[in-house]
Every structure is written in C-alpha cells, then in structure tokens.
Structure 1
Amino acid sequence: MTVSEYLKQNTVAYHDAAEKLFNSQKIFSKTFTLEDYKKIIRTNYLMLLHSEDKIFKELDEYSEKLQLSDRKKLPLIEKDLKSLLLEKVVAGNELELISLHEALGAMYVIEGSTLGGNVIAKQLSKTDGFDDVTFNFFGCYHENTGTMWKSFKETLDAEVHENNYDEVLSGAKKLYTFLLNIN
C-alpha cells in the first residue's frame, strides 16, 4: 500500500467531519449560500495562515520536486477574503508540525482540499447567488488540478518509506484537527 492510499484510508472520518462542518451536501443540491461559502473561505484562510509557511519551511529540501512555488495558496485565499469583504483574523489555537513527514501529511490535506475545491468552484459557479464570486483559492490550479494532485501524490509515494507512514498520518490528522477546531 502506498502512503497516499494509507492516508486516504485513515483520514476518512476527518474528511467526512470537514464535509459535515461545511455543509458540503448543500453544494450539490444548489442550496449552498454565500454565508456557507464565506465560512469555508474564512476557515480555510485560518488553516493556511497557520500552516502554509510552517509546511513549506519543513519541506524546503523537496521544494523543486513538490513544485512548492506553484502551490502557495495563502495569497489566493486572501484575494477571496477581500472580495467577500471578510476581515483577516487569527485562529485561537496553534498548529505545530515537528518533522518533514508531518509536513507532508499536512500538505496532503491541503492538496486534497484543492482537488475538492475545484469541484466546489465548478458547482457553485452554476448556483444562484455566486455570479460575482471569484474562486481564486478553489480554482487555483484551473485545468491543471488533476495533474498537480497526481504529481503531488507520486512524489509523496516515492519519497515516504513505510516506516514513516504513521508520522505522515500524524501530520494529516493534526491539520484536520486544527481545521475542525477553528471557530
């Protein structure tokens, strides 16, 4: 089993909890509101604000392999905050990543959310009330979303030895827990 399969299998409950928190089922029934969207953007902003620099710092030696310069999302979500007239704030809790492997796990969560975000952006762009919304964060990779996800997963699977799977999972769980506890 690859580390990406291991992560997918062992983070299902966290992923489902995040979907529930954000009322994701409403996206496909076209009952998702602008307020629901603002909640997702605000929460993801706080997650990125408190994690992106830490993750990228830990992953510096993999910068080229992971194309980190193309994966920065904080500036994009800040544009969404501004367009939605949301204020920048800070989270009440801190995120601590203690290793390269934990950072890879956290990155898995962020990159996975980008994959889902692309679907969300496409769906919401067809929903009433979202005509003027620019999906900078959720549409960050545009038509390259699948390619970027595949490239990330391939690097992750190639670089992480089975002995480190639990440490990578720990990083993913830490970021999910941080995200789920933002209020």
Structure 2
Amino acid sequence: MVSEYLKQNTADYHDAAEKLFNSEKIFNKTFTLEDYKKIIHTNYLMLLHSEDQIFSRLSGTYAEKLQLDDRKKLALIEKDLESLSLKSQSVSHDLEFNNVHEALGAMYVIEGSTLGGNVIAKQLSKTEGFDGVTFNFFGCYQENTGPMWKNFKEVLDTEVTEENYNEVLSGARKLYMFLLNVN
C-alpha cells in the first residue's frame, strides 16, 4: 500500500519537521506563541505555494473521491495569520508537481499535517498563553479529522499502483523539502 510506503520513506522528513517546529515543547507545555507563529507561517507558505497546483492536478479524477472542496486550507490559515498579526505574502519560490501522482504525494504531507495539527490544537488549547487563539488551520476538520484522513488513505491506496509509488514519493519529498527550507 502506497500510504505505508510513504510513511516509511518520509519518516526522516517528518522527524526533521517536528524538530524544526519544536514539537516536543507542545506536549511539555513550553510551546510559546512565537513557536506557534513560526509553525503557522511556515505552513502558510507551504499552502500558498502548493495548494492551487495540487488541487488543479487532482481536480479531474480525484475531485469527488477526495472531497477536494472540503480539503482547501489556504483561506483558513490566512485567518490564522490575520489573528496572529502576521503578514500574507505572494508566491516567491518555484515548487512544481509534474503529474497527478506527485500531487497526491504532496497532498499526503498536507493531510498528514492536518492530522497532527488536530492533536496540536487540542494540546495548545490547554496550554497557558493560547486562550484567545483560534485554530482555523489545525482544527479545520474538527471531529471529522479521522474520517477525512481515512478517506484520503483509502483513495491513495486503491488508486495508486505500485509502478507509481516513486512518483507519489517524489511529490511528498518535494513538499517536505520546501517546508523544511522555506522561511
């Protein structure tokens, strides 16, 4: 299954992202509002540079299967930017997904961040200093986070054949590298 293949082959990137964002501080309640601003800003840049391209690549075959209209997050994270008094930006980096399989791989990274973000939102809502914070991006699916992730994995695993695993992985790696290197 391609979802397991991706999980195994992107584990180092995932760990690097957790380190970059000081994720361990979330669970020991030392995560600060500045840490949160960094994670929101970086995820915003990731979505700004990838969401439209991913969705346009997937809009034909996968629009209905993946419920694409319900998965758009750029407008939500822009609300978080505004509430945190952070500035929005324009696209400034080249990031390109060459085909539908790379787009699915990139979406795997975004949907995975949403799954983790739900946990982050719950934890931070119980952390001092986060009383007035609205978690538009990290709480985007609310109680539907599990079912949305499950749906995404099912579509990925049923639609992607083994000969396309490397292309899907390529898209995931591209987005992780962008996330880890953009400021």
**TM-score, normalised by the number of residues in structure 2:** 0.98
Mapped pair 1:23 → 2:22: yes
- Residue 50 of structure 2 is matched in structure 1 by 51
Amino acid in structure 2 at the alignment position of 1:34: L
Amino acid in structure 1 at the alignment position of 2:22: N
Separation in structure 2 between the aligned mates of residue 91 and residue 57 of structure 1, nearest angstrom:
16
Q: Tell me, what secondary structure is at the counterpart of 1:152?
A: helix
**What runs of 5+ residues in structure 1 fail to find an aligned partner?**
none
Q: Tell me, what secondary structure is at the counterpart of 1:98?
A: coil
- Residue 113 of structure 1 is matched in structure 2 by 113
Separation in structure 1 between the aligned mates of residue 106 and residue 170 of structure 2, nearest angstrom:
8
Separation in structure 2 between the aligned mates of residue 154 and residue 110 of structure 1, nearest angstrom:
16
- Residue 157 of structure 1 is matched in structure 2 by 157
CA contact (8 A) 1:3 1:156 kept: yes
Q: How many residue pairs align between the two structures?
A: 182
Separation in structure 1 between the aligned mates of residue 121 and residue 3 of structure 2, nearest angstrom:
24
Aligned pairs for 1:126-145 (under 5 A) are 126-145=126-145
- Alpha-carbon shift at residue 89 of structure 1 (Å): 1.9
- Alpha-carbon shift at residue 94 of structure 1 (Å): 1.6
- Residue 89 of structure 1 is matched in structure 2 by 89
**What runs of 5+ residues in structure 2 fail to find an aligned partner?**
none
Separation in structure 2 between the aligned mates of residue 106 and residue 116 of structure 1, nearest angstrom:
16
Q: Which runs of 4+ in 1 moved over 3 A?
A: none
Q: Tell me, what secondary structure is at the counterpart of 2:85?
A: coil
Separation in structure 2 between the aligned mates of residue 94 and residue 119 of structure 1, nearest angstrom:
31
Amino acid in structure 1 at the alignment position of 2:95: L
Separation in structure 2 between the aligned mates of residue 40 and residue 101 of structure 1, nearest angstrom:
27
Q: Tell me, what secondary structure is at the counterpart of 2:111?
A: helix
